[in-house]
Amino acid sequence: MQHFPIYLDLDNRRVVLSGGGETALAKLRLILKTTAQVEVFAETAKPDLQRLARAGKLTLHFRRMTANDAAGAALVYAAEDDATLDAETARLAHASGAMVNIVDNLEASDFITPAIVDRDPVTIAIGTEGAAPVLARMIKEDLEARLPSELGLMARVGKAFRAMADRLPMGRKRRDFWAEYYQEIGPRLSEGGAAALEGGLETLLDKHLAAEERSGHLDLAGTGPGDPELMTLAARKALDAADLVIHAPGTPGGVLELARREAWRVEATDEEAAVARAGRAIARGLQVVWLVPGAPPRALAARLAGEGWSFRLIPGIAAPVQARTPANQPGRPPASTTDRETAR
Confidence of residue 322 (pLDDT cuts 50, 70, 90): very low
The amino acid occupying position 290 is: W
What integer best gives the mean pLDDT of the chain?
Answer: 88
Contact call for residues 182 and 156 (beta carbons, < 8 A): no
Candidates 133, 118, 19, 126; CA nearest to 76 is 19
Confidence of residue 170 (pLDDT cuts 50, 70, 90): confident
pTM equals 0.66
Q: What is the DSSP string of 232-266?
A: -HHHHHHHHH-SEEEE-TT--HHHHTTS-TTSEEE
- pLDDT for position 326: 43
| Average pLDDT score over residue span 101-124 | 91
Say what percent of the chain tops pLDDT 90.
Answer: 65
Contact call for residues 172 and 287 (beta carbons, < 8 A): yes
More confident position, 67 or 20: 20
Confidence of residue 56 (pLDDT cuts 50, 70, 90): very high
The amino acid occupying position 286 is: L
Q: Which of 199-203, 268-272, 288-292, 332-336 has the lowest mean pLDDT?
A: 332-336
Confidence of residue 129 (pLDDT cuts 50, 70, 90): confident
Q: Class assignment of domain 217-314?
A: alpha beta
Confidence of residue 111 (pLDDT cuts 50, 70, 90): very high
Domain boundaries 14-113, corresponding CATH code: 3.40.50.720
Q: Are strands 122-126 and 217-222 parallel, antiparallel or unpaired?
A: unpaired
Phi then psi for residue 323, to 5 deg, are: -65, 145
Q: Are strands 115-119 and 122-126 parallel, antiparallel or unpaired?
A: antiparallel
Contact call for residues 39 and 58 (beta carbons, < 8 A): yes
Extents of the domains making up the chain: 14-113, 151-210, 217-314
Print burial letters for 284-307: b (CB count within 10 Å at least 16), e (below 16): eebbbbbbbbebbeeebeeebeee
Report the distance separating Cα 134 and Cα 124, nearest Å. Answer: 17
- pLDDT for position 1: 81
- pLDDT for position 125: 92
